[in-house]
Amino acid sequence: MLALSRKQNESIMIGNDIEITILEIKGDQVKIGINAPKSVSIYRKEIYLQIKESNKEAAEASVSDEVLKKLFK
Amino acid sequence: MLARTKHFGEINLDESKIITFDNGILGFEEYKKYTILYDNEDGSRPDISWLQSLDEPALAIPVISPLLVKEDYNPAIEDELLKPLGILNEDNIVVMVSITVPPMFENMTANLRAPFIINSDSRKGVQVIIENSEYEIKYRFYEKLKALKAAKGDK
């Protein structure tokens, strides 16, 4: 992994159109600003992983349509 | 077109029922084409539908309207995230959330944090992640469902 040191208000460019700025450093938290094209999805990683997992779980449950219909009837 | 599905075998699907998720859905990014399927044999639309992949027959996610389990569901969603769907209005917006149904039904959950938003005119869809963490990824709603069923029974 590439590691770069940055101070508050300094930025990093990823390619030509993604800019990441360190907005604020406070104790153990860093506030990051991201400028990116709208087509780029940005997620907090832990949430991203949880949603991925949730989609998989929902798809993999082996419950049938018949059973589900009854459940919701 | 003929489409193979997880729960309804091979079906004849009108092309106008194809929904494109240009970014796929999380965990299944490679699949872009979906349709919404449900069994309306008895003439009425059931509360439960399936988001069926048309690229992978084995991929079908059970979905419901979030309003069914949370009446005041009204998350703020960045306009930018919905732009790819085209112009949304009350008549063409479809909002669904996935449900996970384990063998122990009382543990079933709905993912209120990452709804599927579909424009039924442009037939494009996205799965968005809501910033507001009050909307849970694993929202337990079995009790709610029981109450709903009881209310239906009273009618």
For residue B125, what pLDDT is reported?
A: 97
For residue B149, what pLDDT is reported?
A: 82
Q: What is each CA distance from B137 to A53, A58, B133, in whole angstroms?
A: 10, 11, 9
For residue B35, what pLDDT is reported?
A: 97
Nearest CA in chain A to B141: A72
For residue B67, what pLDDT is reported?
A: 95
Nearest CA in chain B to A36: B80
Band (B154; pLDDT cuts 50, 70, 90): low
- Residue closest to B119 by CA, chosen among B33, B53, B27, B21: B21
- Chain A contact set for B61 (CB, 8 A): 55, 58-59
pLDDT in tens, A6-57: 999 999 999 999 999 999 999 999 999 999 987 788 889 999 999 999 999 9
B142 burial via Cβ count (<10 Å: 0-12, 13-18, 19+): middle
- pLDDT top residue among A66 and A62: A66
Return d(Cα A59, Cα A52) in angstroms, integer. 11
User: Is B83 in contact with A38 (Cβ distance < 8 A)?
Assistant: yes
Mean pLDDT over B118-123 rounds to 97
For residue B155, what pLDDT is reported?
A: 56
* β partners of residue A18: A14
pLDDT in tens, B12-24: 999 999 999 999 9
Q: For chain A, which residues lie within 8 Å of any Cβ of chain B, measuring from their own Cβ?
A: 38, 41, 43, 47-48, 50-59, 61, 63-65, 68-69, 71-73
For residue A46, what pLDDT is reported?
A: 94
Mean pLDDT over B43-48 rounds to 85
In the predicted structure, residue B46 carries a pLDDT above the cut 90: no
Q: Which residue out of B26, B44, B64, B126 would a mutagenesis test of the A interface target, given it has the greatest number of A Cβ atoms within 10 Å?
A: B26
User: Is A55 in contact with B98 (Cβ distance < 8 A)?
Assistant: yes
Residue B145, helix vs strand vs coil: helix
Helix (H) or strand (E) holding B62, with range, is strand B60-64
The secondary structure of A10-71 as a DSSP string is -EEEETTTEEEEEEEEETTEEEEEEE--TTS----HHHHHHHHHHHHHHHH----HHHHHHH
Return d(Cα A14, Cα B73) in angstroms, integer. 37
